[in-house]
Amino acid sequence: MSNELFEAMCQSVIDGDPDAAAALAEQSIHDGVDPLEAIDLGYVAGLTEVGARFSTGEMFLPDMMLAARAMQRAVAVLEPEMTRRAMHRQVLGRVVLGTVKGDIHEIGKNLVGIMLSANGFEVHDLGVDVPPERFVETARSVGADIVGISARLTTTMTGQRDVIRALDAAGLRPGVKVLVGGAPVTRAWSTDIGADGYAEDAIGAVALSRELVGVAGTV
């Protein structure tokens, strides 16, 4: 049953159909499906396929935009359920989150933000195309424990190093820890640029953030 649902979710993203994507998300909540599974096995699978078809020239930028819109509508429906399932009252730490300058990909970063909020972190989301100085200003003004930097393009990954250098120059580290992520980012890259941690996905981001603020135990 879930497999059919996941396939339909995947297809709704490939078709760039936000109404279908949202309706399937509602159905999954009704059926008691784990929203994270719905995202990973359903919608992200669709985005991966769209990306592959974009690479081979079978799909174009407007198709990617529609696919992203469908994904975002589904996530908006699933978000309250994710929060409900992982409700925490105590604030574990403050996180400033954003996608680097020159990069407008936000879906992965938003998922990380949703998961961190749902797991007790206060998240200050700066959005996309964020210059290093905004990370610095906000980290200082909110008293951030962690700065999370997302990059989705191989050409924008260096923006993560720029943010780290700016935080260093402002004297905010090592008090503020830096977490990096995004599909082209690797652990080796994160070590190279002097980040405090790298996580492959939103669940990993929560586990690592807990570690960085010194909270024991798993998510």
Per CB under 6 A, 54 contacts ligand B12: yes
- The residue behind tokens 């990954």 is 157
Distances in Å between the alpha carbon of 98 and those of 90, 134, 185?
Answer: 23, 9, 15
Per CB under 6 A, 181 contacts ligand B12: yes
Q: Are 120 and 92 in contact (CB under 8 A)?
A: yes
C-beta closer to ligand B12: residue 5 or 13: 13
Instruction: Give the list of residues 6+ apart from residue 166 with CB closer than 8 angstroms, or none.
Output: 132, 133, 135, 136
In whole angstroms, the minimum distance from the beta carbon of 1 to ligand B12 comes to: 24
State which H helix or E strand residue 147 sits in: strand 146-150
In whole angstroms, the minimum distance from the beta carbon of 184 to ligand B12 comes to: 5
Tokens of 38: 């719905």
Per CB under 6 A, 76 contacts ligand B12: no
Per CB under 6 A, 139 contacts ligand B12: no
C-beta closer to ligand B12: residue 1 or 98: 98
State which H helix or E strand residue 37 sits in: helix 35-37
Per CB under 6 A, 182 contacts ligand B12: yes
Q: Which residues bind ligand B12 (CB under 6 A)?
A: 44, 47-48, 50-51, 54-55, 61, 64-65, 67-68, 102-109, 111-112, 148-150, 152-155, 179-184, 199, 201-202, 205
